[in-house]
Structures are given as C-alpha cells and as structure tokens.
C-alpha cells in the first residue's frame, strides 16, 4: 500500500467521523485505518514471498533415495577418470591410519591395481553401492578406534551411515585393517564393527580382518597382515604380482627462489588457512586452533628430579566453551636444536622456501602439509621428527646410503623376516632412535631433506585432560602435565615435544605472554547430572587432572546450597613432600567436607604402596557406591597396568560384597559402562 493511498483513507475516515458523530474519536479511526493498512500490506507481501518460494522450489527436484548424483566429492568419478580400481579409505586421529592407507595404495601398482587414498569425510560414501560397476574393484578400510570405542572424527559420518542405513552393498569387494590398542577396553571396536557390517550389507570380504595393536608393534601387525592380504587379492581377481618393488615419490619438489613467492603467501605454521594465527576467526577446531595466551606456567613438584607443570591458558576471546572432563589439544613446536641438526645432517638451507606437490592429480591431498613453506617451518611445525620411523621409511633411506653395510642394515630392518624384526626392535624401538639419531649413526646415509619431509608423519596435537571447571574458571583452561625427559640406551636425552616446549615458555615480567595454538575436544567423561549422586574417583599422578575439575564443580554446587553426594578420591604419588600435586587444594577440600581423601605414597616407606592397595582395603565402599547407591566410578591415568588392576578390584568387590559370580560381575560392570556410570580416561 502506497503512502498517498494511506493518506486518503485517513482523511476520508476523519470526515466521516465528523459528519456522523460516531462513537469513535478521530484518533480511534486513524489507529483502526493504520492497523487495517498493515494487515493489507502483510497479506500482499506474504503472497509475494510465497511466489518466490514456489519459483525457488521449481528449480529443485527431490531425488529418490536410491539415486546417487555425481558430485565433486565423487570418488567413483576419480577412479574411472584415472583408470584405477583400488580405493583405500582411512579413519585416522593421529595420522597412522592415513599413512597405512597411503602405503597400501602405493603398493597396488605392483599388483596391477592402481590405487587411490580417500578421506571418507570428503567423499560421498553412498557411492560404495556403485563401486561394483568398476571391473576388479576393491575398497580397503584402514580405520582406528579411539576413546570409548569411538570412530575417528573423519570417519564418524561414514560409521553412522553404515550403522543406521541399509544400503545394498552386494558386489562390493572389501578388506579392513584396524588400528587399536589392547590396553583399552574397546580394542579395535570400530574396525570389527565395519568388517561385520559390510558383510551384513552384502559386501564380499576379500581377506580377513587385520587388527593392529599399538601397545605392542602395530607396524609389525600391519606388515604381517598385508603380506597375506595381497596374495588373497591376487587369487580373488586372478592377477599376479609384477615382483617389482617400486620406490616412487608421491610428491614432487618445487623450490622457490627468493622473491618468487611473496612472504605473505608463505605458510609459517598455520594448520590450514593462511594467516589463521594472525587473523583469528571462530569457530576454533582441529584445523583452526585458537592462539591462547599462557597466563600462568608454574612448577608443581616440590623436589626430586622430575617436573610437573600447572599451565593456565586464556580462552576468554575465543568463544570456546568447555566442561569438566573435556580435553584440550595443544599444537607443539619441535625442539630448535633437533631442527637445526637435521639441517646439518642433510646439508639443507633451512630458510629455503619450497612446495611438495602431489603427483596424483586426482588426490584430494595436494600437499603433505601447508605449502609453500620453509624447511625450518616444516620441521618445526608440520613434521613428527621425534617419532620412531616405521619400516617403509627405512626402506626409502636405503637408496641414499653409499656404504654397502649401511644399506644392508636398513634393508634388513625393512623386511618382515624374523632377523629383520629383531634388528628393528633393538636398533630402533629399544634404543629409541628417531630420524636424527639414525642419520647420526648411519653416517653414509644422506637423504635430501625434501624427501624426508615427504616421508615423515605429520606433527600431531597433544591432548591433555583439562584440570579445571568452567564453573570456577570460565575464561581459562588448566593443564597438568609431567615434562617428558629420559635417557636412551645410546646415552642420548630424549624429550617430549609439547611438555618441553611448554616448560621453555613461561610468562616473564615486562614481556608479552607466550601463546600456543589450542582447541577443545569434547569428552564423554562427565560428572553425573544430579549433584547428590555419590562418586568415587581413582587418579594417581597427573591422572588427578580431570578430578581437580570435578572437585571444583562439586564444591561450587555445595557453596550454592545444592545437596552434594559423597565425593571420594584415591590419589597416589611417590613422595608426600615432593610430588603431591595440588596438596593444599586437596587438603582444603577435605577440611571443608568436599572430598574424602585416600592418598598412597609409593616410596615413602620400605614397601611400595599404590592406590590399588588402598582400594583393595575398601571393597565394601566400592560396592556401597556402585551396587547400593547408584553412584559413579571414574579412573584416569595409566591404561596398561593401573586401569586394569583397578577394574579387577571392582569386579572382586562385586563378587565378594555383591554376591555375584565372576561372569555376572563382568556383565554388571559392562552395564555400568554402557550407562556411563563406570568411566575411564586413560592413556598408554
């Protein structure tokens, strides 16, 4: 409705009111006309919008569920256009699954199966139903399990699709290799499920499920599996190995002369987006971490030869939120001395700018890490230079040895023979030799630095259980971490990447606060929703970290007048006067009635006493919390020994105090786990 039309209506209404002596005043008439005009305008505009919606809808059609459109994330199109028949998907949290996938795809050439590596997160996985249309096609899945039997972040959507959907995978040929750790309760749960589910949906298993154990020797597990996997593939597709081992580079080197690339176009440590650490934009995650200030960085130990840090990270400007029990991921920087030493050993100019470009044009991974960058940046921020090299790296290094004895030594360690495995175990694993040590000890080996940059795995963030609660510290995240440092059998001093960096970056008066890239990773490790629910926590050493957050949260609830159930903590360390971390806080909580403490000091007496010894004396308490009062039980710390021992003690309590059989007790504990009433945040 136009302004002039509205004016006429108002004038006419006013005149009518004056002539007739209506019960309504002029003002009432004007207000009614305005309301009427607004209603007309709304109806008119609604029809207009509806027409727009109809026009938009006419441009789209709803596709039936069975129809799969070819999209830019179509791995089928990529396979067909490049004449490939092998696709290796990976579910990887730390990079090992991706590395294994790459090795399998590369080896496919030897068996006349040109391969492609694919990230399920970047693919339309419904296309698995169409893979059978490619002759002699095969899908391999290298998938890791982490957390409480969870798929990795990049495989989550694919996992849910398999779980909840019913696609017809008849004609799909597949094989699965899992990456797990036997010290964890849900060992290789994701790989086991995917292998079983694919078969249920009609797919044909080409070779049996492979299970890699990272607590033992996952490299050995993988090599042993694939040496039987390939003959099974040959038999299935009636093909033969060429017998030739092809050592081909996956990435080609482009060296940039000074001035070729503007300095503001060179990556300087960003994880994904150029300048993302200078111009920060939320949301912050694994590919876009927040550059947090280190507000506090202090020593927790009172003596001894070890160090434990209490670090407070300022997240006030990040819009990141966390809960007690979550993890914080810290992106570390490699030791500058190791970086410089690698430059010396390879004779490289570390400040030279370069790019590594994938020779496979169909690959979604154009570079192994952000490029262009300098060798110094790559070694400092992008590459895991302190990890123990896997056998395929040793095989590539053979080509750069001038001494025959050095060649044979590396070649033997790269084989699957018993002698080769034994040598790899003693020379690499037991001696804790990383790439710098290998090049120092095998002196004739002089690989070009760009090839090392291609071979070494990506530097991964380090995860720490957050040791604070947002109820008390909404703008800071606290970390409690032991500084890793140990002597190797060769007399060298190996250091943890992240904790060494943190130890060297403490706030100094008059200096800008140090910063570190971080993000929050959500966890299932949670306090019960009802504060009156009793909880029992077992956390020796830095396993105390999440429970410090839990204690803060329960104490705040009590201060706010809420009813809070029994809070029981079992903590252990070596000496009361050396490494009893947060002692003053814990004793204050105990004094205020916020916690019942059971503390074991393993080396303050002739006979060692651990938290497990204290737990064994309190079986009644364990059964009372879990069996009678519907409480929650938590463990944090070492997965290999402590967590297993604690679990066995809990089962014993259920048997002896709850009157159950061993089998019933185990079933009872599994039920508690499924209900999140028995939770573990453990590491090996």
**Dihedral-angle region of residue 217 (phi above 0 means left; psi in -120 to 50 means alpha; beta otherwise):** beta
Please tell me whether 481 is known to bind a ligand.
Answer: yes
CB 141 within 8 A of CB 162: no
The Cβ of residue 579 has, within 10 Å, a number of other Cβ atoms equal to 23
Give the contacts of 586 (CB within 8 A, at least 6 positions apart). Answer: 551, 569, 571, 595, 597
Was 582 annotated as part of a binding site? Answer: no
The residue from 465, 468, 523, 679 that is catalytic is: 465
Does the annotation place 92 within a ligand binding site?
yes
Q: Please, are residues 439 and 433 in contact by the beta-carbon 8 Å criterion?
A: no
Candidate list 124, 195, 579, 681, residue with the active-site label: 681
The answer to whether the annotation marks 462 as part of a ligand binding site is yes
Residue 555 contacts residue 592 (beta carbons within 8 Å)? yes
Is 542 annotated to bind a ligand? Reply is yes
Contact, 488 vs 494, CB < 8 A?
Answer: yes
Sign of the alpha-carbon torsion through 453, 457, 458, 461? negative
146 is an annotated ligand-binding site residue: yes
d(Cα 202, Cα 192) in Å, to the nearest integer?
16
262 is in an annotated binding site: no
Tell me how far apart the alpha carbons of residues 215 and 213 are, in angstroms, rounded to a whole number: 5
661 is in an annotated binding site: no
Distance CA 104, CA 84 (A): 14
The answer on whether 306 is annotated among ligand-binding residues is yes
Instruction: Determine if residue 499 is labeled as part of a ligand binding site.
Output: yes
What number of other Cβ atoms are within 10 A of residue 645's Cβ? 18
Q: Do the beta carbons of residue 460 and residue 289 sit within 8 Å?
A: no
Question: What distance in Å separates the CA atoms of residue 14 and residue 463, rounded to the nearest whole number?
Answer: 75
Q: Residue 357 gets which letter from DSSP?
A: E
Q: Is 230 among the annotated ligand-binding positions?
A: no
Is 545 within any annotated ligand binding site? no
b or e along 169-178 (b: 16 or more beta carbons within 10 Å of the residue's beta carbon)? beebbbbbbb
Number of helices and strands (H, E) in the chain? 21, 23
Nearest to 457 by CA among 27, 101, 56, 85: 101
Task: Please enumerate in sequence order all residues whose Cβ is within 8 A of that of 452, keeping only pairs 6 or more positions apart, or say none.
Answer: 342, 346, 435
User: Could you count the other beta carbons within 10 Å of the beta carbon of residue 204?
Assistant: 16
Q: Any known ligand binding at 110?
A: no
Q: Is 636 a catalytic residue?
A: yes
The answer to whether the annotation marks 469 as part of a ligand binding site is no
Q: Is residue 576 a known part of a binding site?
A: no
Distances, alpha carbon 219 to alpha carbons 96, 390, 411, in Å: 10, 7, 16
User: Is 180 marked as a binding-site residue?
Assistant: yes
Determine whether the annotation assigns residue 326 to a binding site.
Answer: no
Q: Could you tell me whether strands 327-330 and 462-465 are parallel, antiparallel, or unpaired per DSSP bridges?
A: antiparallel
Question: Could you say which of 453, 594, 636, 638 is catalytic?
Answer: 636
The verdict on whether residue 480 carries a ligand-binding annotation is yes
610 is in an annotated binding site: yes
501 in active site: no
465 is a catalytic site residue: yes
298 close to 310: Cβ distance less than 8 angstroms? yes
Nearest to 610 by CA among 578, 573, 651, 555: 573
Question: Is 161 one of the annotated binding-site residues?
Answer: no
**Count of other CB atoms within 10 angstroms of residue 475:** 13
Tell me whether residue 453 is one of the annotated catalytic residues: no
User: 363 a known binding residue?
Assistant: no
580 annotated as belonging to a binding site for a ligand: no
143 annotated as ligand-binding = no
As to burial, measured by CB atoms within 10 angstroms (0-12 exposed, 13-18 middle, 19+ buried), residue 71 is exposed
The answer to whether 464 is annotated as binding is yes
CA distance from start to end of the chain: 73
587 is in an annotated binding site: no
Judge if the upstream peptide bond of residue 283 is cis by omega within 30 degrees of 0. Answer: yes
- In a 10 Å sphere around its CB, with 0-12 CB exposed, 13-18 middle and 19+ buried, how is residue 234 labelled? middle
Cβ(307)–Cβ(284) under 8 Å? no
| Annotated binding residue 147 | yes
Please report where in the chains the tokens 């570079």 appear, as a residue.
367
Q: According to the annotation, is 159 in a ligand binding site?
A: no
Collapsed DSSP state (helix, strand, coil) of residue 558:
helix
346 is in an annotated binding site: no
Task: Please check if 645 is assigned to a binding site.
Answer: yes
**Annotated binding-site residue? 183:** yes
400 is in an annotated binding site: no
Q: Is 95 annotated among the ligand-binding residues?
A: yes
Under 8 Å between Cβ of 110 and 244 = yes
Binding annotation for FMN:
92-97, 144-147, 179-188, 214
Residues of the binding site = 92-97, 144-147, 179-188, 214, 306, 462-465, 480-482, 486, 496-499, 542, 602-603, 608-612, 645, 683
Residues annotated catalytic, as ranges: 465, 636, 681, 683
Binding residues for NADP(+): 306, 542, 602-603, 608-612, 645
Residues at the annotated binding site for FAD? 462-465, 480-482, 486, 496-499, 683
């Amino acid at each position: 409705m136009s302004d002039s039309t509205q004016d006429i209506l108002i004038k006419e209404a006013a005149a009518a009111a004056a002539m007739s002596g209506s019960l309504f005043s002029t003002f009432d008439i004007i207000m009614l006309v305005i309301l009427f005009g607004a209603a007309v305008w709304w109806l008119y505009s609604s029809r207009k919008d509806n027409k727009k919606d109809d026009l938009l809808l006419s441009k789209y059609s709803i596709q039936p569920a069975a129809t799969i459109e070819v999209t830019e994330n179509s791995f089928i199109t990529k396979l067909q256009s490049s004449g490939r028949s092998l696709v290796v998907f990976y579910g990887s949290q730390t990079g090992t699954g991706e590395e294994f996938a790459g090795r399998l795809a590369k080896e496919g050439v030897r068996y006349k199966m040109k391969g492609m590596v694919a990230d399920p997160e970047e693919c339309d996985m419904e296309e698995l139903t169409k893979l059978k249309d490619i002759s002699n096609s095969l899908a391999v899945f290298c998938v890791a399990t982490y957390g409480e039997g969870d798929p990795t972040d990049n495989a989550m959507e694919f996992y849910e699709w398999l779980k909840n959907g019913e696609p017809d995978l008849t004609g799909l040929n597949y094989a699965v290799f899992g990456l797990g750790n036997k010290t964890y309760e849900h060992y290789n749960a994701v790989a086991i499920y995917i292998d079983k589910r694919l078969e249920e949906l009609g797919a044909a298993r080409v070779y049996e499920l492979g299970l890699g154990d990272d607590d033992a020797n996952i490299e050995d597990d993988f090599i042993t599996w694939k040496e039987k996997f390939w003959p099974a593939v040959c038999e299935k597709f009636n093909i033969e190995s060429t017998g030739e081992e092809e050592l081909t580079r996956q990435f080609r080197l482009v060296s940039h002369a000074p001035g070729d690339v503007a300095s503001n176009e060179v990556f300087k440590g960003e994880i994904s987006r150029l300048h993302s650490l200078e111009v920060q934009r939320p949301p912050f995650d694994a590919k876009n971490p927040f550059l947090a200030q280190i507000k506090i960085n202090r020593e927790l130990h009172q003596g001894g030869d070890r160090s434990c840090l209490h670090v407070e990270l300022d997240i006030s400007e990040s819009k990141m939120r966390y809960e007690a029990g979550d993890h914080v991921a810290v992106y570390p920087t490699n030791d500058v001395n190791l970086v410089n030493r690698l430059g010396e050993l390879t004779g490289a100019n570390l400040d030279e700018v370069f790019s590594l470009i994938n020779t496979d044009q169909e690959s979604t991974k154009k570079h192994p890490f952000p490029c262009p960058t300098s060798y110094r940046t790559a070694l400092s921020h992008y590459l895991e230079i302190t990890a123990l090299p896997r056998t395929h790296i040793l095989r590539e290094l053979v080509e750069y040895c001038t001494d025959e004895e050095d060649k044979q030594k590396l070649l033997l360690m790269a084989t699957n023979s018993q002698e080769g495995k034994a040598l790899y175990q003693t020379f690499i694993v037991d001696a804790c030799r990383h790439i710098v040590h290998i090049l120092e000890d095998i002196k004739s080996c002089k690989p070009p630095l760009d090839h090392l940059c291609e071979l070494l795995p990506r530097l991964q963030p380090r995860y720490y259980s957050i040791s604070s609660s947002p109820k008390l510290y909404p703008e800071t995240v606290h970390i409690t971490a032991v500084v890793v440092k140990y002597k190797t059998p060769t007399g060298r001093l190996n250091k943890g990447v992240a904790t060494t960096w943190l130890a060297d970056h403490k706030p100094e008066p008059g200096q800008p606060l140090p910063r570190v890239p971080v993000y929050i990773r959500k966890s299932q490790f949670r306090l019960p929703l009802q504060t009156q629910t009793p909880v029992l926590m077992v956390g020796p050493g830095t396993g105390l970290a999440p429970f410090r957050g839990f204690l803060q949260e329960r104490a705040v609830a009590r201060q706010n007048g809420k009813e809070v159930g029994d809070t029981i903590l079992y903590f252990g360390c070596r000496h009361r006067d050396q490494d009893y971390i947060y002692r003053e806080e814990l004793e204050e909580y105990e004094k205020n009635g916020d916690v019942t403490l059971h503390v074991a000091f393993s080396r303050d007496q002739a006979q060692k006493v651990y938290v497990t010894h204290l737990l064994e004396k309190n079986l009644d308490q364990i059964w009372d919390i879990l069996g009678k009062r519907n409480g929650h039980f938590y463990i944090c710390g070492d997965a290999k020994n402590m967590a297993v021992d604690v679990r066995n003690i809990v089962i014993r309590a259920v048997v002896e105090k709850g009157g159950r059989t061993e089998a019933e007790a185990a079933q009872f504990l599994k039920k508690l786990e499924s209900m999140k009433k028995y939770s573990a945040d453990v590491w090996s």
